[in-house]
Amino acid sequence: MPIDKHGVATELEANVETIKAYLEDDSRIVERYQDAFQRLPQEWTSEEIREALQNVSYPGASPTDVFDDATSIIVPHSESNEWENHEEVNEWARDIIRDIPVMAVDGSQLPPTTQFNVPVAYVQSAWAVNHHHAEGRFDRDVEGQLLTPGEVTQEPENGDYRFVDSQLVGHHRFEHEGRLLIDRLSDLAAAYNADEITHTPVVFYDGPLIASFTNPLKPETRERYISTLSRVIAASQHHEIPLVGYVADSSATELVKMTRLLLPEEFETDRVIPDAHVLTELMSPWGDTTVPFISKRDGSIDALQTTYEDETYKFRDDILFSYLNVPPGAGLDRIEFPGWLCRSDGPDGYESMYEYTVEIVRAEAGIGRGYPEILQQVDSDAVLDQKDRQEFHRVVQRWADSNDVPLEWNAKALSKELRRR
């Protein structure tokens, strides 16, 4: 049934004062946090902050050494001050990113086939590398994986039967994307080392590198996600290819949490609000970032460790983040990245690999009108829709017929299929 529009409107009208009060309180809190954020570099050193927070397991954030050289936690993008339209953004971005390869991977999935008496599913991941050459070199492909009944079903504790668990498809998809990203990142590194690529590539990961979303999961499921992310991050460090986890319109709260702990007398009774709500009005209209901070959000970061190419990697204090203002979106985007970017020298014209990476991210988001173009491309390439689902069913049916597999439709699904024809 369609939504009850009249009922929604009535409920909104009944709660108008409550909602107004929430927004008014939020505005006052934001102003006080803005003042505190601006005072931090003047009143604290990075060592003083770390010492003040040393007895807190997860204080939200911790400063890097860059903090001590900053007069503000906002890093302005002065080139954009005179821009008046998107064409000027685009012109700047294309000049910055010319001949620099950027790569991304994204995935999609088809759920288990409940229409058949045999449950199978499908995941696929798209990858793309835009070399930003004048002649327009763009490498891209899609790779898929069939999930068999044993991979999409599980056995309960009593062991009497197996049942289809659609969530397992998402787990396999995540791992499939991770493996493909590592493979393509390794290929880029090999090409760069062989001088087939003249500029350091940058790899975009669609989502966070900080796996807080895994905290509610079962230990064995959580480990699958953590293991995949750990290997992706380790591959970046091992091959020295910059990696960025891109989170659009972030609602993270690390800086607010850190500030509350540093200034309890000012914020002890206030609720936690997203960092982006505080930072947005402190930034200029386009391109500003924050200085990098170490994320100390929760235990999911402590768990990021792995062995890659016979080397051990641990990222407990080595996943960093910055915020980025690239309109037209109303909120701020967030980039998460391994700490080696800040410790490594950048290409000519850039003090560090971090500064280089941020500039490429800026340019890619500028070309994409507020969201990295390469991520838009792989999302479009990866998506599986209802038409794909129907074609998948037909392929399975033809395969079963040609191999004498006793595949049967269930009655409800067959009835729907016949009505749609």
pLDDT one-digit tens code per residue, 241-274: 999 999 999 999 999 999 999 999 999 788 899 9
Handedness of CA 344, 340, 329, 32 (dihedral sign): negative
Q: What is the mean pLDDT of residues 211-224?
A: 93
Among residues 154, 205, 201, 215, the alpha carbon closest in space to that of 177 is found at 205
**Residue pLDDT, tens place only, 225-235:** 999 999 999 99
pLDDT of residue 334 exceeding 80, the answer is yes
The number of angstroms, rounded, from the C-alpha of 360 to the middle of its chain's C-alpha atoms is 16
pLDDT of residue 238 exceeding 70, the answer is yes
Sequential DSSP letters for 236-251 = HHHHT--EEEEESS--
Q: What is the mean pLDDT of residues 373-399?
A: 92
Q: What is the mean pLDDT of residues 88-112?
A: 95
* Tokens at 383, concatenated: 């998506």
Q: What is the mean pLDDT of residues 319-332?
A: 89
pLDDT for the residue numbered 5: 73
Secondary structure percentages of the chain, helix, strand, coil, to 5: 50, 20, 35
pLDDT for the residue numbered 23: 61
Least confident of 92-101, 154-163, 188-197, 323-332: 154-163
Classify strands 138-147 and 121-130 as parallel, antiparallel or unpaired. antiparallel
- For 336, the enclosing helix (H) or strand (E) is strand 333-338
pLDDT of residue 313 exceeding 70, the answer is yes
Q: Please, what is the Cα angle at 19 between 15 and 24, to 5 degrees?
A: 150
With pLDDT > 70 as the criterion, what percentage of the chain qualifies? 93
pLDDT for the residue numbered 414: 39
**Burial grade of 61 (CB within 10 A; 0-12, 13-18, 19 or more):** buried
Query: Rounded to an integer, what distance in angstroms lies between the CA atom of residue 352 and that of residue 339?
Result: 11
pLDDT for the residue numbered 109: 95
Q: What is the mean pLDDT of residues 133-141?
A: 91
Q: CA 296 → CA 90, 252, 324, distances in Å?
A: 35, 12, 19
* Tokens at 108, concatenated: 């999609």
pLDDT for the residue numbered 418: 37
Q: Any idea where the domains of the chain sit in the sequence?
A: 5-147+175-420
Contact 342, 318 (CB under 8 A): no
For 253, phi then psi, to 5°, come to -130, 20
pLDDT for the residue numbered 118: 84
